[in-house]
Chain A
Amino acid sequence: MKIKNIAIVGSLESNDVMITIEPLENKLEIIIESIVYDQFNEEIKKAVQDVCDELEVKQAKIKVNDRGALECTIKARMEAAIIRGKGEIL
């Protein structure tokens, strides 16, 4: 699945996450910033990775700015980011 556009989803409200996805050649780069980094960085990374695996995204740069989003929120935002990045909607 190829990411063609830069897409930004989510917000910086408490309990939400803002995710930026952009095209990148040959690798998947995930950068995580979070107010609960010490407590949950592995879980956040896994949630992002899982959605990428599921939607077969192997090449992209993903910036995650997390404000304490639950796992379900992170996954939903990721899905939206990928769909927009592919240029399918919006």
Chain B
Amino acid sequence: MSKIVKTFKEVFKLCGLKNGMTISFHHHMRNGDYVLNNVISQLDECGFRDIKIAPSAVFPIHEPLIEYIKKGVVTSIDTNYMSGSVAEFISLGEMEQPVKFRSHGGRPKAMEDGEIKVDVAFVAAPSSDKMGNINGVLGSSACGSLGYAFSDVEHAKSVVAVTDYLVDYPNPYISIDETKVDYVVPVSKIGDSAKIVSGTTKITRDPVGLTIAKNAASVIEKSGLLKNGFSFQTGAGGASLAAAYYLKKVMLEKNIQGSFGMGGITKYFVDFLNEGFFKTLMDVQCFDLDAVKSIKENPNHIEISASLYANPNSKSCVVDNLDIVILGATEIDTNFNVNVHTDSNGMIIGGSGGHSDTAAGSKLCIIVTPLIRARLPIIVDKVTTISTPGNTIDVLVTERGIAVNPNRKELKNKLIDEGLKVLDIQEMQNIAQKITGKPKRARLSHKIVGEVIYRDGNIIDTIKAVNKR
């Protein structure tokens, strides 16, 4: 017996795919993903229209989507993150249906609740056998963790594994097993794993960034949470990684070993693990090839599903046991609401990912950002888009000082007692505006192009189209 199907055309027919149906993708190949573009172009060739897509993220490589949206092949997008020219296209109001933006934990919940009903899930499989036993660690397109694909294969009516590395049955490593997979489609290439590394994954050398990182490490050190067995997550931004670097120094000085590091995993976290700073890594996606290698070889580097990571529907999830997370922001307002969806001009440049999930779950959520970016004060009266509600954010760290959420009085007093420079967030806003001048708000149109759906399923904000210039 074999589940191998030679062409997409055949597999569409076998899955009973029809106009108006929903298909899903996961984004572990990140900006090197070929599968989404490939499937959509095949759908177009077969004459499909009005297809709804639910990719866990959309990257610059997915630019061809624009043509298929214009053509009516794709009419709806449900995703957790979006960058590049598709995001620009959506921001300009060129798509009829607003994009539904969810969080990494909210997406599996939406699938469980039937808010996203996936008809066919396409899984980019770095290796598969003929029956659909899949892993992300073998083959030339190895991407490591397949964390976001687990909910798709659990809930989709049909599951298609797309692979460029067919191995003998049974696959020696099994991440997603054959009980979930209907068909296996071999292709020449599922992606370019060299492009898994997206954006900044190097420690910043910018003195402003380094000052922010030092301040963040001090907050962690003085928060009272830095003790044996603590857990930690940080993004792959330059300042976040630098904070991790300074944190490492403190851990070394004080002889502290953490329990687990989580997130999108980078080389820096792999080093943390290998050098004994943490016992375990919980990995929902690999951000570079060092992480891919480590998850294959190190049994303490564990692949976790998006549900286990952050699904608020589940009986429990790992973010609820997360002590400290460091996150970024394009804007933060004086009520500590954070924007990671749009820039100050209202243009879509990202999405929640796990931002709001980890902010809600963690004991200490630190936002790191410079006070000013290109004349724009990052602290504003009201964020352009609410991605993460202010009541889940504890501390803002900038190069000029630290602001603590007023609902964390105890923490604020502790940090002051420890001698850190704690300011009111309004005070910090004033410092910035003295340098830049007071900005006017960007003019946005009334057309809604996106909905921000919080991890509990409620819409907490909408994204408006930007005006063409």
Contacts and interface: CB of A to CB of B under 8 A. Distances in A.
A10 interface: no
Contacts of B440: 38-40
A85 to B, nearest CB: 25
Interface string A59-90: 00000000111110000000000000000000
Nearest to B439: A39
A15 interface: yes
A36 B435 contact: no
A65 to B, nearest CB: 13
Contact of B374 (A36, A38, A71): A36
Contacts of B442: 38-39
Contacts of A26: none
B437 A38 contact: no
Interface residues of B, number: 15
Given A38-B345, A39-B344, A68 B373 contact: yes
Contacts of A36: 344, 374-376, 439
Interface size class of A (residues with CB under 8 A): 10 to 19
Interface in B406-444: 435-437, 439-443
Given A70-B435, A70-B436, A15 B375 contact: yes
Nearest to B436: A70
A68 B375 contact: yes
Contacts of B443: 38
Contacts of B439: 36, 39-40
Nearest to B469: A37
Interface in A1-58: 14-15, 35-40, 43
Interface string B430-463: 0000011101111100000000000000000000
B15 to A, nearest CB: 45
A37 B374 CA distance: 12
B375 A69 contact: yes
5 contacts: A15-B374, A15-B375, A36-B375, A38-B442, A70-B375
Given A36-B374, A40-B440, A70-B436, 10 more contacts: A15-B374, A35-B374, A37-B469, A38-B440, A38-B441, A38-B442, A40-B375, A40-B436, A40-B437, A67-B374
Interface of A: 14-15, 35-40, 43, 67-71
